């Protein structure tokens, strides 16, 4: 099956916004019913394989000079300047293009062009003025008034390592220049030093320089851990740990990583991770014209319920198995009515949703996201599972794709319409890989409500899927969720997501042994344990070899 993007369809619950493919490409832009070339398909399409597999066809750069993301930059500036809260100085920075890579923190998106250089310069001026604009701010920044002490202390914080003698001398010169240009006084000298350091490559980039295959030094490990797991620069205490040599052994790295995973700052990082894996940013774009039950209040609950669900999985030591099989979910008054459970007095609360609501994929947000009005969209749902949970590629769409027939236009069920639609264009790909996964969710309509009939006919949720480990049959979405939770392919896919997000690069075939080892951890333990297994691995602790 050819790697790359494939159309999902236009008039969906998201207003035509489509999911992201297993190899990172956006899957969208066509009409509802866009399908994919199969055996003997149009344009000489490659034959569809008989089994699925985790796709590892990326093209990493293996950079050892990694620019901070916009969020990391904002958090780092906040911490090194001792601001009480982020000043939102990065609000006008150019955001990475979602869908160009699997995650927006991918190395290929983190470059500095002329626009970024100007933005960094402007932001550094504002940050320096704020940090030196009052006695209270200066006292929080540094408790002395000597240039050398300030340069050394702030420089270590900004560059995430001690400054060399030459660097100290250079920034002492910058301090003196500030006093010469703006008048004698600690604040004027400090402001120029801050501006200079905030536009330095030593602040803007996290580096892993040195011979390929050699271990990262303690300061590099401190930065790599802190920016990944906490989304910000290493603390003074962590830099002290690095200086003491405690990050040069695996046990020391593991101990620090475990502490970080219990730090409240790890939660928004993992929230971003799961949000990108499952495209939660699309939920506010859901529209349901002509569906009176889809109220603004219900729409507001969907995103928060999803975020709280994934937050709980992480904080309470869960993992992929919990994401796929938990019968618990968060509800507000509107979702409670939809699920038929007791509504909370206010806000959202955790509820047992029943055995027929197994995992996040059977909750209302997923159902509404991949649907058209009140009608489920099996193609979109199937592609979402195929690419986001199993990391399998899709072939390119055929040139001529019919539109999805309107519901109730005949005496057919939704499943029968989709089957007829896809048999003529890429039917083998749909019939084997996409449609069976989507049909499993036919018991949930486009509003996420349970149903037993469609157009007066019994719902059919049966199917099978050719996993990498073998074809498995299922009678319902609940059975499919358990199969996925036990699937080595699903856990290898999850490991691919965790590793790609953590290492900030595409995954390739050479990474498969690592991912399969992490998949065993994911299957038996938690997300936190999977992360710990990764940070202990040479792939995290050694300088990249740069070989696909």
Q: What is the pLDDT of residues 195-253, one digit of tens each?
A: 999 999 999 999 999 898 999 999 999 999 999 999 999 999 999 999 999 999 999 99
Element holding 495 (H helix, E strand): helix 488-503
Is the pLDDT assigned to residue 469 strictly greater than 50? yes
**Is the pLDDT confidence value at 87 over 50?**
yes
pLDDT band at 1 (very low <50, low <70, confident <90, very high): very low
SS3 of residue 472 by DSSP: strand
> Could you tell me the residue ranges of all domains in the chain?
65-207
Beta strands in 196-254 (DSSP E): 205-207
Q: What DSSP string runs through 116-143?
A: HHHHHHHHHHHHHHHHTSSHHHHHHH-S
Confidence of residue 467 (pLDDT cuts 50, 70, 90): very high
| pLDDT number for residue 53 | 94
Residue 134, both tokens: 């009052």
Higher pLDDT, 321 or 3: 321
| CA dist., res. 339 & res. 360, Å (int) | 13
Is 435 within 8 Å of 418 (Cβ atoms)? yes
- DSSP 8-state code for residue 432: I
pLDDT of amino acid 342: 96
20: pLDDT strictly greater than 70 = no
Q: Which residues contact 171 (CB under 8 A, 6 or more apart)?
A: 151, 155, 163, 193, 196, 197
How distant, in Å, are the alpha carbons of 126, 226, 249, 537 from that of 216? 34, 14, 11, 12
Give me the percent of the chain exceeding a pLDDT of 90: 80
More confident residue, 427 or 39: 427
CB neighbourhood size of 456 (10 A): 8
Label residues 29-67 b or e (16+ Cβ within 10 Å = b).
ebebbbbbbbeebeeebeebeeebbbbbbbebebbbebb
426 phi-psi bin (left φ>0, alpha ψ -120 to 50, beta other): left
CA–CA separation, 260 and 226 (whole Å): 8
**Does the pTM of the predicted model rise above 0.85?**
yes
pLDDT in tens, 134-165: 999 999 999 999 999 999 999 999 999 999 99
Reading the block at residue 412, the tokens are 């057919």
Which residue in 236, 372, 202, 350 sits closest to 294, CA to CA? Answer: 372
Length of the chain: 548
Residue 464 has pLDDT above 50, yes or no: yes
Lowest mean pLDDT among 25-34, 97-106, 200-209, 297-306: 25-34
Give the H or E element holding residue 65: strand 65-67
In the DSSP assignment, the letter for residue 542 is: B
pLDDT digits (tens, 9 = 90+) for 329-388: 999 999 999 999 999 999 999 999 999 999 999 999 999 999 999 999 999 999 999 999
CB atoms within 10 A of CB 183: 10
Q: CB atoms < 10 A from the CB of 293, how many?
A: 12
pLDDT in tens, 109-139: 999 999 999 999 999 999 999 999 999 999 9
DSSP letter for 87, please. Answer: -
CA distance 537 to 544: 12
Q: And the tokens for 175?
A: 């301090």
Contact status, residue 18 vs residue 41, Cβ threshold 8 Å: no
pLDDT score of 403: 60
List, as one string, the DSSP characters of 207-230.
E--SSTTSBPPHHHHHHHHHHHHT
DSSP reduced 3-state for 57: strand
For residue 371, give the DSSP letter.
E
Between 420 and 32, name the one with better pLDDT: 420
Quote the CA–CA distance of 122 and 313 in Å, as a whole number: 40
What mean pLDDT is reported for the chain? Answer: 89
Ramachandran category for residue 111: left, alpha or beta (phi over 0 → left; psi -120 to 50 → alpha): beta
Nearest 5°: CA angle at 172, between 166 and 174? Answer: 110
pLDDT of the residue at 440? 98
Q: Given a cut of 70, is residue 399 above it in pLDDT?
A: no
- pLDDT value at residue 397: 59
Strands (E), 166-223: 205-207
Whole-number pLDDT of residue 24:
31
| pLDDT score of 546 | 64
24 contacts 102 by C-beta, under 8 angstroms: yes
How does pLDDT run across 249-273, given as a tens digit for each residue? Answer: 999 999 999 999 999 999 999 999 9
pLDDT at 71 over 50: yes
Contact between 337 and 313 under an 8 Å Cβ cutoff? The reply is no
Percent of the chain with pLDDT over 70: 87
Q: How far apart are CA 421 and CA 426, in angstroms?
A: 10
Phi, psi of 470 (to 5 degrees): 130, 160
């Amino acid at each position: 099956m050819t790697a790359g993007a494939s159309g999902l369809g236009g008039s969906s619950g998201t207003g035509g916004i489509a999911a992201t493919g297993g190899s990172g490409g956006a899957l969208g832009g066509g009409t509802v019913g866009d399908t994919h070339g199969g055996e003997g398909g149009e344009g000489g399409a490659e034959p569809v394989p008989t089994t699925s597999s985790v796709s590892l066809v990326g093209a990493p750069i293996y950079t050892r000079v990694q620019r901070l993301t916009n969020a990391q930059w904002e958090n780092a500036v906040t911490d090194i300047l001792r601001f009480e809260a982020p000043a939102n100085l990065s609000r006008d920075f150019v955001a990475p293009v979602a869908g160009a890579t699997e995650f927006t923190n991918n190395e290929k998106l983190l470059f500095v062009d002329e626009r970024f250089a100007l933005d960094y310069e402007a932001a550094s001026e504002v940050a320096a003025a704020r940090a030196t604009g009052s006695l209270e701010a200066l006292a929080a920044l540094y408790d002395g008034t000597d240039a050398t002490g300030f340069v050394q202390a702030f420089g270590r914080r900004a560059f995430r390592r001690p400054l060399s003698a030459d660097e100290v001398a250079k920034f002492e010169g910058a301090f003196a220049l500030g006093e010469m240009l703006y008048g004698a006084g600690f604040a004027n000298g400090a402001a120029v030093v801050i501006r200079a350091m905030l536009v330095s490559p030593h602040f803007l980039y996290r580096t892993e320089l040195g011979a390929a295959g050699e271990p990262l030094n303690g300061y590099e490990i401190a930065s790599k851990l802190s920016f990944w797991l906490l989304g910000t620069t290493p603390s003074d205490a962590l830099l002290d740990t690095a200086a003491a040599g405690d990050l040069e052994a695996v046990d020391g790295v593991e101990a620090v990583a475990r502490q970080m995973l219990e730090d409240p700052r790890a939660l928004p990082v993992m929230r971003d991770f799961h949000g990108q894996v499952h495209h939660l940013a699309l939920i506010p774009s859901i529209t349901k014209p002509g569906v009176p039950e889809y109220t603004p209040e219900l729409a507001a609950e969907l995103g928060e319920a999803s975020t709280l669900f994934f937050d709980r999985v992480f904080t309470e030591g869960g993992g992929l198995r919990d994401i796929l099989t938990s019968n618990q979910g968060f509800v507000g008054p509107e979702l409670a009515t939809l699920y038929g459970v007791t509504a909370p007095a206010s806000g959202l609360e955790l509820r047992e949703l029943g055995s027929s609501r197994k995992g996040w994929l059977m909750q209302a947000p997923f159902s509404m996201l991949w649907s058209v009005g009140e009608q489920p969209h099996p193609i979109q749902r199937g592609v979402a599972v195929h690419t986001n949970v199993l990391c399998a590629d899709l072939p390119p769409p055929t040139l001529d794709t019919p539109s999805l027939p309107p519901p109730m236009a005949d005496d057919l069920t939704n499943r029968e319409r989709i089957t007829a639609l896809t048999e003529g264009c890429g039917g083998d790909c749909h019939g084997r890989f996409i449609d069976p996964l989507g049909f499993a969710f036919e018991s949930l309509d486009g509003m996420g409500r349970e149903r037993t009939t469609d157009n007066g006919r019994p719902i059919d949720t049966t199917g099978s899927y050719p996993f990498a480990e073998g074809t498995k049959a299922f009678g319902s979405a609940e059975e499919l969720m358990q199969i996925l939770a036990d699937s080595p392919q699903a856990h290898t896919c999850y490991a691919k997501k965790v590793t790609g997000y953590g290492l900030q690069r595409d995954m390739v075939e050479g990474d498969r042994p690592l991912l399969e080892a992490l998949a065993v951890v994911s299957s038996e333990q938690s997300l936190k344990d999977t992360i710990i297994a990764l940070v202990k691995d040479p792939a995290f602790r050694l300088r990249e070899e740069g070989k696909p």
